[in-house]
């Protein structure tokens, strides 16, 4: 995968890494999918990327020790500052990519931007993002390391949020991506890891996952998660 969009994506992360911030950030969302190829070497895992959205999770409590102007850092690449929603969530927009920072929602939720003065931006807080930090893996790309959720956690989270989507097509794409990753994990012989992370979710979320799999007709996967 060496198209211009991917090259830009790598350049963005390379710059964020160079200023010492990438180690405190977790890449989430669909851009994880192509980067899991390294994890699934030797399996039939096949992937592509068709989204502009690059989602970067900043775990809480904040552990970023340096102060960086991300907008200025990426300006010469063609990124401009934009805002979404009436709350004014910041995004860095480019014709090929849209970069957004997110934080896990806490308590009753925060219906306003979460300030990230260390980065000169704000973040949107969303439900269930804490699930993605249950287990982090590192992959090396172009000589630097990127934090990703473990594929099992990523897939289970995709199933959970698929029912939260207002856009039905996006929800279905979440489910398709999750099933593809789950089957790659089974192909890799990691059924036990799948079950382990599944059991780390709350009973309510486990029920949501099972119901989604049942509605999708993925009965053999239900057996994996419910096997004693």
Q: pLDDT, tens digit, for every residue of 184-203?
A: 999 999 999 999 999 999 99
Residue with the larger pLDDT of the pair 1 and 223: 223
Categorize the per-residue pLDDT at 168 as very low, low, confident or very high, splitting at 50, 70 and 90.
confident
Q: Are residues 98 and 206 in the same domain?
A: no
Count of the separate structural domains present in the chain: 2
Distance from C-alpha of 117 to C-alpha of 114, rounded to nearest angstrom = 10
Q: Are residues 42 and 111 in the same domain?
A: yes
* Residue 147 neighbours by CB distance under 10 Å: 19
* Last residue in a domain, options 122, 149, 176: 149
Q: Are residues 139 and 192 in the same domain?
A: no
% of the chain residues with pLDDT over 70: 97
Q: pLDDT, tens digit, for every residue of 19-31?
A: 999 999 999 999 9
Question: How much is the pLDDT for 2?
Answer: 55
Categorize the per-residue pLDDT at 113 as very low, low, confident or very high, splitting at 50, 70 and 90.
very high
At a CB cut-off of 8 Å and minimum separation 6, what does 29 contact?
51, 53, 54, 55
Position 178 pLDDT exceeds 70: yes
Average pLDDT value for residue range 151-158: 97
Distance from C-alpha of 159 to C-alpha of 223, rounded to nearest angstrom = 16
Q: Which residues pair with 99 in a beta bridge?
A: 54, 92
* Last residue in a domain, options 101, 117, 149: 149
Residue 160: name the closest of 121, 110, 213, 108 by CA: 213
Distance from C-alpha of 50 to C-alpha of 30, rounded to nearest angstrom = 9
- Phi and psi, residue 91, nearest 5°: -135, 150
Q: Are residues 122 and 188 in the same domain?
A: no
Position 1 pLDDT exceeds 50: no
Q: Are residues 119 and 167 in the same domain?
A: no
* Last residue in a domain, options 127, 149, 171: 149
Question: How much is the pLDDT for 181?
Answer: 96
- Phi and psi, residue 195, nearest 5°: -65, -40
Average pLDDT value for residue range 54-78: 95
Categorize the per-residue pLDDT at 9 as very low, low, confident or very high, splitting at 50, 70 and 90.
very high
SS3 state at 118: coil
Q: Are residues 45 and 97 in the same domain?
A: yes
Q: Are residues 2 and 77 in the same domain?
A: yes
Give the domain CATH number at 52: 3.30.460
Q: Do residues 156 and 131 touch, judged by C-beta distance below 8 A? A: yes
Domain hosting 73: range is 1-149
Q: Are residues 80 and 141 in the same domain?
A: yes
Structure tokens at 146: 């990127």
Q: pLDDT, tens digit, for every residue of 36-65?
A: 998 999 888 888 777 899 999 999 988 898
Q: Are residues 89 and 181 in the same domain?
A: no
Q: Are residues 28 and 95 in the same domain?
A: yes
Q: Are residues 70 and 111 in the same domain?
A: yes
Q: Do residues 148 and 154 touch, judged by C-beta distance below 8 A? A: yes
pTM of the model: 0.93
Q: Are residues 11 and 111 in the same domain?
A: yes
DSSP string computed for 21-86: -GGG-EEESTTHHHHTTTTTTTS---------EEEEE--SS----S---HHHHHGGGT-EEEEETT
Question: How much is the pLDDT for 109?
Answer: 61
């Amino acid at each position: 995968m060496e198209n211009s969009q991917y090259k830009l994506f790598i350049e963005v992360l390379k710059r964020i890494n160079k200023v010492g911030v990438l180690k405190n950030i977790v890449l989430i969302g669909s851009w994880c999918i192509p980067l899991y190829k390294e994890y699934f070497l030797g399996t039939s895992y096949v992937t592509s990327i068709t989204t502009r959205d690059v989602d970067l999770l900043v775990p809480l409590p904040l552990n970023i020790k340096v102060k960086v102007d991300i907008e200025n850092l990426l300006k010469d690449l063609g990124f401009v500052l934009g805002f979404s929603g009436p709350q004014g969530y910041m995004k860095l927009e480019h014709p090929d990519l849209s970069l957004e920072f997110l934080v896990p929602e806490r308590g009753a939720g925060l219906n306003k931007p979460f300030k990230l003065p260390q980065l000169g931006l704000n973040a949107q807080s969303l439900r269930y993002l804490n699930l993605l930090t249950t287990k982090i893996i590192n992959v090396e790309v172009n000589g630097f390391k990127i934090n990703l959720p473990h594929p099992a956690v990523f897939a289970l989270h995709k199933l959970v949020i698929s029912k939260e989507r207002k856009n039905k097509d996006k929800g279905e794409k979440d489910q398709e991506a999750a099933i593809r990753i789950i089957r790659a994990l089974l192909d890799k012989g990691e059924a036990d890891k799948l079950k382990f992370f599944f059991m780390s979710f709350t009973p309510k979320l486990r029920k949501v996952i099972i119901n989604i799999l049942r509605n999708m007709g993925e009965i053999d996967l239900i057996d994996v998660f419910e096997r004693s």
